[in-house]
Structure 1
Amino acid sequence: MFAGAMALCASAALANDKIRVGLSSDGLLFVPAFVADVMGYYEEEGLDVELTILGGATKVYAALVSGEVEFSISSSVSILRGRAGGTDMTMLGAAMDQHASNIVATRQWFEKTGLTRDSTYEERLKALKGITIAVASAAGGSAQLVRFLAGEAGVDPERDMTLTVLGVGDTTLAAFARRRVDAITHSSPVAVQAIREHDGVMLFHMSGGQVPAYNGFLYLTYTGLESWIKEHEDQTVRFLRAMQKAHKAIRDPATAEAVRDKVHAKYHARIDDALYADAWADYASAFPASIEINGEMVDRVNELAAKVENADPVLPEHVAASWTNDYAAEAAKGLNAN
C-alpha cells in the first residue's frame, strides 16, 4: 500500500508537492503546523505547504469539503458529526489530546469561596454554584464545557450559574480585569494573561488534564477527505511524518526552547516574550508524543460528545468510517515518538 510513498520519500530528486492546510486561526492550538514550517520538516518530506488561516472552524470544514485545502487541524467531534452527515472527512492523527480552554477565576472570587491552590477537583466543582463565568458563545464549546462541569457538580447551569457571552480575546480579558465576571473560559495566551496580568487563578486546568473526563481526550485531529487521501497516499504519509517530527520537537527538552523561539518570531511576534513562554509551556504537554490514534480514542469522543451536547451518539458504522491510523502508523516508522 505504501511502497510508492516510501520510494518517493527516499528520492533526493523528489519535487515538492503543493499541500494546503486549513486552520481556523494562527493560535497556539495549531503550533505543530507552525513548528513543521520553521524547522523545515515539510521541506524534508518533499512538501510545499501553505498554511491557510480561514477565520473559523466552519470555514475550515467548508474549505476541506470543497477541496480548497487538502488537510485541516479540526475538532474530532465535528469530524464525527460531519461523517454522520454524509461527508467523507477522515481523522488521520492526533493533533491535541487535551481540551484547549482553561477556566481562570479572579483571586477575589477564588478566595471568597474558600478554595486554595491545593483544592481538589471535587472541591472546585462544589464552588461553581452562583458563579458568573464568561463564555465565547451561548452554544459553543466553552459553554458546553461549563455546562458539563455544572453537571459534574450537580448544579443547574441555567438556574445556579450565570453564563455571560463575551466572545473571545480582548473583550473577555477586559471584563475579567474589571471583575465583571468571576471567571473566564479561554485558551492561551488569554488564560495565561489573565493569571499573569490580572491576578487570576487557575480554576480548571483543562490543557493540563485536570478534569478527568477530558484528560487524554482526542480534541484536535489531522483531517483529510477519504476520497483525496486514497488517491494521494504518499503525500498523506509525508504530511503526517512532518507533523510527527513537530510533535517530537515540541516535547524534546533539547529542542523545545529553540523551536518555541522560532515559532514565536515568525508567527506570534506580537505576543510578549515572557507571556509567550508561559502560554507555550501551558500547551506543550497537550500535543501528544505520538500522533497515532485508535478506536478507543474515537469511541471516547463519541460518548463524551453525546453527553456534553445532550445528543444521540454517532452510529457505530459512521464512527468506524471516520478515522484511520494506517497513515500515521506508516509515518511513525523510523521516527522515535517517545
Structure 2
Amino acid sequence: MKSACFRLFSATCLTLAAIGSAAAGSTAVRVGLVNSSSDVGFLIADKKGYFREEGLDVAFTPFDSAAKMVAPLGAGHLDVGGGSPSAGLYNAIARGISIKIVADKGSTPTGYGYQPLLVRKDLVEGGRFKTLKDLKGMKIAGSAPGSASTSTLNEMLKKAGLKTADVERVYMGFPQHVLALQNGAVDAALTTEPSATRAIQSGVAVKVLGDDEAYPDHQLAVVLYSGPFAREKSEAARKFMRAYLRGVRDYNDALKDGRLVGPGSDEIIGILTAATPLKDAATYRVISANGCNPNGKVHEASLKNDLQFFKDEGLIQGEVSVEQAVDNGFVEAAVKELGPYARRNGQ
C-alpha cells in the first residue's frame, strides 16, 4: 500500500512537473484590444485554446483606441495590437518606428456594416434631421482623431456635399457614445457594434446609414505587430497568426446574412458574452457583424484612400506609404499551412 501510494505520488509529481515545464516553455504575447466587436478573432482563438496549442501565453490589455497602442507597440511593450489604422500609426512609421499592419481584423463588405451612422431619435422625430445634409453643424461622436472612422465620416459627408469642417467632431470611446447620445452631448455618432445596437434598442438613436453602404470594403480595424515581435520572435509571430486565423475562420463559419446566426453561432456568442461586458446573447444575434477576411489579407485600396484623407487633413508628418506599413508575409505563411478558407459543412 505504501509502495502504491509512493508510485501515485511520484506520478503526480511528474505530471505537475511536465505541466510546469510546458508552461515555462510557452512564449508570452502581449496583445492590445479596443473592446470592439472586431476583437472576436482574438477572443475565439484564446477561448478555444488555439493560442495555447501553438505554445503561446497570450495576455490582453484594453485601450480606448488603437492610436494609444502606437507608443507601446513602437517601444516593444506590446507585441500585437488590434484596432483602427490611424494617422498616428503612419506618422510613427514615417519616423522609422517599426510597426506593421499584418492582417484584417474588421472590414465592411456589403452586408457587414458594423459601424453605422446614428442620429438621435428626437432629432429625427422632431424633423431636425431628414437627410445627410442636415448633419451640417451637428456634433458627431467618433473614436479618436485621425482614426479610420474619421475617413468613414468623410465618405458619408461627401454624399451630402459636405466636408468635415461642416460638422463638430467629438472623440470618446465607443461605449461612451450611447451615454453621450442619451444626455444630448452629441447629435450623432459613428459607433461600432455592439454599442450601436444598444443605442438603437434603448430608443435614443436611429440608424441612418450603414458604413458598408457609404464605404464598402473599408479596412476599419487591423492586426498590428511590433517590430521586435515580428523580427526577434518571428516563429511566435507566425504561430500567433495561425491561431488567429483559425479563430477568424470559426467566426466566418458562424455568420449568415451579416449576422451571427449561422452554424456554430451559439458557441461564438457564448465566447463573446463571457469575454466582453455585453452579456445578452440575444443582442449578439441582431447586431450587424463585422467582416473579417478568413484568409487574412487587408484591403489595401481602402488603406490608401484613408492615408490620402489623413494627408489632406494635414495629419501626416513626413513621407510614408501603405506599402511601408503592410506586411502580408505572416498571413501568406499561415494560409499556406492552413490552406485557403473553405466554409465548413458546405454552408
TM-score class, shorter-chain normalisation, is 0.7 to 0.9
Amino acid at match of 1:88: S
Q: Distance in 2 between the 1:139 and 1:323 partners?
A: 18
Instruction: Quote how far apart the aligned CAs of 1:102 are.
Output: 2.1
- Helix, strand or coil at the partner of 1:288: coil
After superposition, the Cα gap between the structure-2 partners of 1:301 and 1:144, relative to the gap in structure 1 and judged at 3 Å, is: closer
Aligned residues of 1:16 and 1:48 also touching (Cα < 8 A):
no
Tell me which of 158, 166, 182 is aligned to 1:151. 158
Contact 1:101 1:188 in 2 (8 A): yes
Distance 1:232 1:195 in 2: 44
Alpha-carbon distance between aligned partners in 1 of 2:42 and 2:91, rounded to the nearest angstrom: 24
1:96-135 alignment, distance < 5 Å: 96-98=106-108, 101-110=115-124, 112=127, 124-129=131-136, 131-135=138-142
What is residue 305 of structure 1 aligned with on the other side? Answer: 307
SS at match of 1:210: helix
Aligned residue among 198, 213, 218 for 1:210: 213
Alignment partner, residue 118 of structure 1: none
Equivalent pairs, count: 305
Report the identity percentage. Answer: 19
Structure 2: distance between partners of 1:166 and 1:79: 18
Q: Which secondary structure does the structure 2 equivalent of 1:187 belong to?
A: coil
Q: Deviations over 1:129-173 (max 9, x none)?
A: 4545344567766555434432332135545x4x26373456542
How much has 1:104 moved relative to structure 2? 1.2
Compute the displacement of 1:201 (Å): 2.2
Offset of 1:323 from its aligned partner? 1.7
Indicate whether 1:319 and 2:327 are aligned.
no
Equivalent residue in structure 1 for 2:280, among 269, 272, 279:
272
Give the Cα–Cα distance (whole angstroms) in 2 for the partners of residues 310 and 86 of structure 1: 22
Moved more, 150-159 or 185-194: 150-159
- The unaligned stretches of length 5 or more in structure 1 are 1-12, 116-123
Q: Give RMSD over aligned pairs.
A: 3.3
Q: CA shift at 1:103, angstroms?
A: 1.2
Over 3 Å counting, the alpha-carbon distance change for 1:89 and 1:308 in structure 2 is: closer
The alpha carbon displacement at 1:65 in A equals 1.6
Question: C-alpha separation between the residues in 2 aligned to 1:223 and 1:204?
Answer: 29
TM-score by length of 1: 0.76
Separation of aligned partners in 2, 1:14 and 1:87: 32
1:205 alignment partner AA: G
| 4+ residue segments displaced more than 6 Å | 312-317
Q: 2:63 and 2:93 mapped to 1: Cα distance?
A: 21
Are the structure 2 counterparts of residues 276 and 67 from structure 1 closer, same or farther at C-alpha, using a change threshold of 3 Å? same
CA–CA distance in structure 1, aligned partners of residues 332 and 221 of structure 2: 18
Q: Distance in 2 between matches of 1:157 and 1:318?
A: 23
8 A contact 2:151–2:309 mirrored in 1: no
Q: Do the aligned partners of 2:67 and 2:144 also contact (CA within 8 Å) in 1? A: no
Mapped pair 1:79 → 2:89: yes
Once residues 140 and 184 of structure 2 are traced to their aligned partners in structure 1, the CA distance between those partners, rounded to angstroms, is: 11
